[in-house]
Amino acid sequence: MDKPAITRRDFFTRVGQGAALAATGGLIWSYLLRQQAQATPYAIRPPGALAEADFNASCIKCGQCVDACPYDTLKLATADAGIPIGTPYFIPRETPCYMCEDIPCVPVCPTGALDQALDDIDNSRMGLAVIDIENCLSWQGLRCEICFRECPLQGRAISIEHHPRRISKHAMFVPLVHSDACTGCGICEKACPTEKAAIRVLQADLVQGEIGDHYRLGWTIDSPITQDFKAATDAAASSAPATGLDYLNEGAP
Amino acid sequence: MTSPGRPLKTGPNGRPVRPFVMPASFAGKLYVWHLLLMRRAVQLGVLLLFVGTVRWGWELAGRPVLTGNLSSSELFGLVPLADPFATLQIMMTGHLPLQELLLGAAIILVFYALLGGRTWCSWVCPINMVTDLSAWLRRRLNISDVFHLSRNIRYTVLALALVLSVLTGVAAFEWISPISMLHRELIYAIGLGWTAVLGIFLFDLFILRNGWCGHLCPLGAFYALLGRLAQVRVGFDTPSCTHCGECARLCPEPQVLNLKEAAAAGMIASGECSNCGRCISVCPEDTLQFRLRYLIDTPNPSETTEPRQRRAA
């Protein structure tokens, strides 16, 4: 049977209709994808997760990392989790990452969305703990320091600074987070005794500033401008301090 | 066979056209339903293996049975398996997956290339149970379509999924797939994924017959393309067919039951056939039977007018 003849006009109309259908469908579809991708900064990912864009591209949402986690820390995002559907994440306040030494969640990842080169859990960067100093008990002057004591990298990721205060108040002992060591495991957030955690893990990008290259911290670098200061400090250090005068007791018996 | 009052129709082979009659006995019904029951057993069995391993820690000889989900999994902690379409989308984003995933995708690709491409759709995909329920209710309630849509639109959706993966940098279908949503939430945690499934159910029931699986699903389209290589096919024994049309009434992809093409090929050759076997169950002449493709002797169309000896069932 012959098909009914198609005029040139019909042909172009049909091509146009097909293209329009694909284009409108594609636009709505990509809008959905973009909407979901916007939520990614709020997901705390498993250890070794690639940077967000790469992670989103490569995760196949199979849940094998979730199966491997011995503490049931990891979950796959359900459709209403507010996180890209099906991707693994955890909520530190509920169950933090306990930083297993053998990192069982990473080798099972079939796509490489979790970096297979991660061999030391201390090098993982799931997020960065930040402290709300208005609600941190230590910053009110209480001796809390629970986050510091619970921190698996105690002294490196969280240290205690000692702030002396005026007489009649004892010194404050306040926790400080160091981004060069904090893995974002969230054990501090889980342990924080305040009603809502005063120390929280967020993706580092959300909380970390950047100084900018144009600021020159003269005391940290050796440059033609700073060499004088350096020489002076060297000179000061090498010369012995002047001996103090002991005149108060002068002439005493 | 035909009631005395009804005029006797004959098929092109000169035999009387008999309608499909559901056997009265339970055993007879069971025989008619045996492929359906097997499909449900496989569908639920695969799901159960995943759920059992993840939730109840099922092991065999100290090895987890089946970890992960249908997107990617590991059998006995040894054999990687992966959804080849999801893998392809990930590669379209520009990320080269680990060899493990590529191997897993290759295993599944070969498996379904041999077993019939869309065999996945009818025998494994969890959405199939939902859309089958829609189709069953639709037949009961005799609901007509709201609009017509070409069944080829799924290939456009397939192409779009790949193009959008390139443009947006995420696996486009995997990020909205109601199949994965349902499957994941059944295994891991129930969320709002069921709303997408409800949407498909209602769409299939009230708006378009076989709307999702037969028109839109790009994963089905992917397996339909793969199904062109399929070795397991529904064989078609031309001489016994009376053109009664019982098969096309139940088939979720009735366009594949083109009897002219089937007679020429000796089988249902279209990749869109999902090997569900509904046609086999209702064929009153046993014209349709599962066959292996290389065993099918393709009859010369000129010879098929002569009735052949009917195969023993």
**Domain residue limits, chain A:** 36-123, 127-209
Any residues with CB less than 8 A from the CB of B106 and at least 6 apart, and which? B84
pLDDT in tens, A93-143: 999 999 999 999 999 999 999 999 999 999 999 999 999 999 999 999 899
- 149-168 of B, contacting A, C-beta below 8 A: 153, 156-157, 159-160, 163-164, 167-168
pLDDT band at B1 (very low <50, low <70, confident <90, very high): very low
pLDDT value of residue B2: 45
Contacts of A54 in chain B (CB under 8 A): 95
**Domain match, B239 and B196 both:** no
**Domain match, B187 and B84 both:** yes
Spatial distance between the Cα atoms of A20 and B145, rounded to a whole number of angstroms: 23
**Domain match, B169 and B256 both:** no
**Domain match, B72 and B209 both:** yes
Mean pLDDT in residue range A84-94: 93
**Domain match, B68 and B110 both:** yes
Single out the residue in B225, B244, B266 at which a domain terminates.
B225
User: Is A110 in contact with B170 (Cβ distance < 8 A)?
Assistant: no
User: Is A62 in contact with B68 (Cβ distance < 8 A)?
Assistant: yes
Burial class (CB in 10 A: 0-12, 13-18, 19+), A134: exposed
**Domain match, B60 and B95 both:** yes
Selection from B232, B228, B250 nearest residue B289 by Cα: B232
Any residues with CB less than 8 A from the CB of A189 and at least 6 apart, and which? A92, A93, A96, A129, A197, A199, A200, A201
pLDDT band at B266 (very low <50, low <70, confident <90, very high): confident
Q: Is residue B1 part of a domain?
A: no
B86 touches chain A (CB under 8 A): yes
B83 touches chain A (CB under 8 A): yes
Q: For B72, which of A64, A78, A84 is closest by C-beta distance? A: A64
Contact (Cβ atoms closer than 8 angstroms) between residue B176 and residue A32: yes
**Domain match, B44 and B154 both:** yes
Report the percentage of chain A scoring pLDDT > 70.
86
pLDDT value of residue B15: 81
Mutate to test the interface with B, among A24, A40, A55, A61 (most CBs of B within 10 A): A61
Same-fold call for A36-123 versus A127-209: yes
pLDDT value of residue A229: 55
pLDDT in tens, B122-177: 999 999 999 999 999 998 998 888 888 888 899 999 999 999 999 998 999 999 99
How far is residue A218 CA from its own chain's centroid?
Answer: 29
Contacts of B83 in chain A (CB under 8 A): 60
Contacts of B171 in chain A (CB under 8 A): 57, 60
Topology of domain A127-209 in CATH is Alpha-Beta Plaits (3.30.70)
Of the ranges A214-218, B119-123, B246-250, the best mean pLDDT one = B119-123
pLDDT in tens, B11-59: 777 788 888 888 888 888 888 899 999 999 999 999 999 999 988 888 8
* Closest chain A residue to the Cα of B85, Cα to Cα: A60
Burial class (CB in 10 A: 0-12, 13-18, 19+), B119: buried
Mean pLDDT in residue range A50-56: 90
| Least confidently predicted of A77-91, B118-132, B206-220 | A77-91
**Domain match, B264 and B159 both:** no
Tokens 């083109």 correspond to what residue?
B258
CATH architecture label of A36-123: 2-Layer Sandwich (3.30)
Strand partners, A177: A158
Q: For B180, which of A56, A61, A68 is closest by C-beta distance? A: A61
- Mean pLDDT over each residue of chain A, to the nearest integer: 87
Buried b (16+ CB within 10 A) or exposed e, B48-69: ebbbbbbeeebeeeeebbbbbb
Asked whether residue B7 carries a pLDDT value surpassing 60, the answer given is no
**Domain match, B199 and B236 both:** no
Spatial distance between the Cα atoms of B219 and B214, rounded to a whole number of angstroms: 11
Q: Is residue B296 part of a domain?
A: yes
**Domain match, B45 and B61 both:** yes
**Domain match, B199 and B105 both:** yes
Tokens 């129930």 correspond to what residue?
B190
What CATH number is attached to the domain comprising B255? 3.30.70.20
Contact (Cβ atoms closer than 8 angstroms) between residue B35 and residue B41: no
Q: Which structural domain range is residue B161 located in?
A: 36-225
pLDDT in tens, B75-106: 998 899 999 999 999 999 988 888 889 999 99
Single out the residue in B203, B225, B247 at which a domain terminates.
B225
Spatial distance between the Cα atoms of A87 and A75, rounded to a whole number of angstroms: 8
Spatial distance between the Cα atoms of A163 and A153, rounded to a whole number of angstroms: 22
Which amino acid would we find at residue B40? R
Single out the residue in B187, B206, B225 at which a domain terminates.
B225
B77 touches chain A (CB under 8 A): no
CB pairs under 8 A between A and B: 149
pLDDT value of residue A252: 63
* Secondary structure of chain B in HEC code, one letter for each residue: CCCCCCCCCECCCCCECCCCCCCCCHHHHHHHHHHHHHHHHHHHHHHHHHHHHHHHCCEECCEECEEEECCEEEECCCEEEECHHHHHHHHHCCCCCCHHHHHHHHHHHHHHHHHCCCHHHHHCCCHHHHHHHHHHHHHHHCCCCCCCCCCCHHHHHHHHHHHHHHHHCCCCCCCCCHHHHHHHHHHCCCCCHHHHHHHHHHHHHHHCCCHHHHHHCHHHHHHHHHHHHCCEEEEECHHHCCCCCHHHHHCCCHHHCCHHHHHHHCECCCCCCCCCCHHHHHCCCCCEEEEEHHHCCCCCHHHCCCCCCCCCC
pLDDT value of residue A42: 86
Asked whether residue A250 carries a pLDDT value surpassing 50, the answer given is yes
pLDDT value of residue A1: 47
Structural domain count, chain B: 2
Asked whether residue A210 carries a pLDDT value surpassing 70, the answer given is yes
Strand partners, A130: A200
pLDDT band at B312 (very low <50, low <70, confident <90, very high): very low
pLDDT in tens, A137-196: 999 989 999 999 999 999 999 999 988 888 777 889 999 999 999 999 999 999 999 999
pLDDT band at B307 (very low <50, low <70, confident <90, very high): very low
Which amino acid would we find at residue B62? G
Mutate to test the interface with A, among B72, B99, B190, B197 (most CBs of A within 10 A): B72
pLDDT in tens, B269-303: 888 999 999 999 988 888 888 888 777 665 544 44
Contacts of A75 in chain B (CB under 8 A): 188-189
pLDDT value of residue B24: 87
User: Is B101 in contact with A81 (Cβ distance < 8 A)?
Assistant: no
**Domain match, B220 and B236 both:** no
